[in-house]
Amino acid sequence: MNLLESVRVALEGIMTSKLRSFLTTLGIVIGIAAVIAVVAIGQGGRAVLMAEMEKIGTNIFAIYVDWRSDKKVTGREFNLSDVAVIKDKVPDITHLSPVNNSLCDVRGPKDQKTGRVIGVSSDYFYIRKFNMKEGHFFTEEDDAGKRRVAVLDEELAGQVFGRAEALGSIITLNSTPFLVVGILAKSESALGFSENPGVYVPIQAWQVMFNSQVQELEGSAASKEKVDEAMGQAVKVLERRHQTPGKYAGMSMEQEMQAANKITGIMTLIIGAIAGISLFVGGIGVMNIMLVSVTERTREIGIRMALGARRRDILVQFLIESIMLCLLGGIIGMALGAGGAYLIAKLAKWPPLVSWWTALLAFAFSAAIGVVFGLLPANKAARLNPIEALRRE
């Protein structure tokens, strides 16, 4: 008996009891669907995250006080002249800005909000590649003159000004009046959080309001390839100037992307493994029902043997039946999983990612489950004695 015949005989076996066959393979359906969906969602999420980070800029970096360092934090780790010196000594750094953050009371004509006040230099505009909706970002002169000018993000401007014209108007930050010179355009983020929280003011004006510290530095390098090297040099300059080796740490977007990549990869793997366990359970389900089926079909097996089927023919028949059952479940599961992933991706506005290799892997995997969990029942069937099998009711 050739393979094609075996497949046909097995298909007849499956089709004679459709509902039971479907229920048998339900575990496989669910297992494969879960694996496919989890991997697709994981990959889609990762792709979105990467695109998002790439949009922010792959050539940017931040330098901050290393929290793992055992040295005491004095608040004097950075100062404004550091920025100028680093830019001078590291030519691959195109822009560099101090970044200070604080919460404060933001009051406009319409409403009052607690917002983030971020003190930066004019370079920050180029580092973050901001888009202006109205007006302009503050200039180097604004900063040097400690002018009280502010750039609001669109959301905050809407909240504190309402319909009133914000540009050219006055807001107060902790009761200090600032002139609004620019509104940042809202950046479309698929991840759902805004990149422009709050209000940007010149670093020196910020220092007048709060304190004279510089919290950290952000900068951009000439290219993504040069960013890690340039950042390292900047850290060295800082260590030399402040005589504090090991106190600073840098993180480039490149490194952050790698880390994020690794984390999403591990998450996908873990959840995928859990889904994989459900596949295993599904395989045991198939084996169970196949064992029952062999018992029920003992007489059929006896008849086939009397008509000339070898033990091998019987073994192959049941093995193929189990493989086809699992493949059937695999295909249904794949469709369900891909459909589910597509739906979730659509809701989350992610690109739906069902890669051909996941599909192929799921296909191969369900076939393998069919073989592994079909062997025991098929072997049981093939070992039957024809006379005893024929006598069985």
Partner 1 sequence: MIKVKNLGKIYKAGAHPVVALADVDLTVKPGEFVSVMGPSGSGKSTLMNLLGCLDILTSGSYLLDGMEVSGMSETELAQVRKLKIGFVFQAFNLLPRMSAIRNVELPMIYAGVAPRERARRAAEALEKVGLAQRMSHRPGELSGGQIQRVSIARALVNNPAVILADEPTGNLDTRSGEEIMAIFQELNRGGATIVLVTHEREIALHTSRIVHFRDGRLVEDEPVAAPLDAREHISAAVPVGQAGSNIESGGEFGR
Cβ closer to partner 1: 141 or 296?
296
Shortest distance, CB of residue 27 to partner 1, whole angstroms? 25
CB atoms within 10 A of CB 264: 17
The SS3 assignment for 217 reads: strand
Cα separation, 145 vs 205, whole angstroms: 9
β-strand partners of 99: 216
Shortest Å, Cβ 300 to partner 1: 6
- Binding to partner 1 by residue 296, rule CB under 8 A? no
Q: What residues numbered 10-29 form the site for partner 1, per CB under 8 A? A: 12, 16
Site residues (CB under 8 A) for partner 1, limited to 202-221 = none
84 binds partner 1, rule: CB under 8 A: no
DSSP single-letter state for residue 163: T
Please report, to the nearest 10 degrees, the dihedral formed by the alpha carbons of residues 295, 298, 304, 309 taken in order: 60
Q: Which is nearer to partner 1, 12 or 105 (CB)?
A: 12
Task: Name the CA dihedral angle for 193, 198, 204, 209, rounded to a multiple of 10 degrees.
Answer: -130
Could you say whether residue 308 binds partner 1 (CB under 8 A)? yes
Instruction: Quote the CA–CA distance of 131 and 292 in Å, as a whole number.
Output: 68
Measured CA to CA, the distance from residue 286 to residue 369 in angstroms comes to: 9
By C-beta, is 46 or 304 nearer to partner 1? 304
Q: Which of 80, 158, 313, 379 binds partner 1 (CB under 8 A)?
A: 313
Q: What backbone torsions phi and psi does residue 138 show, to the nearest 5 degrees? A: -70, 155
Q: Does 284 bind partner 1 (CB under 8 A)?
A: no
List Cα–Cα distances, 240 to 61, 221, 243, in angstroms.
Answer: 20, 21, 5
Binds partner 1 (CB under 8 A): choice among 84, 306, 364, 368? 306
Q: Judged by CB, which is closer to partner 1: 55, or 299?
A: 299
Nearer to partner 1, 46 or 297 (CB): 297
Residue 307 interacting with partner 1 (CB under 8 A): yes
Min separation Cβ 8 and partner 1, Å:
8
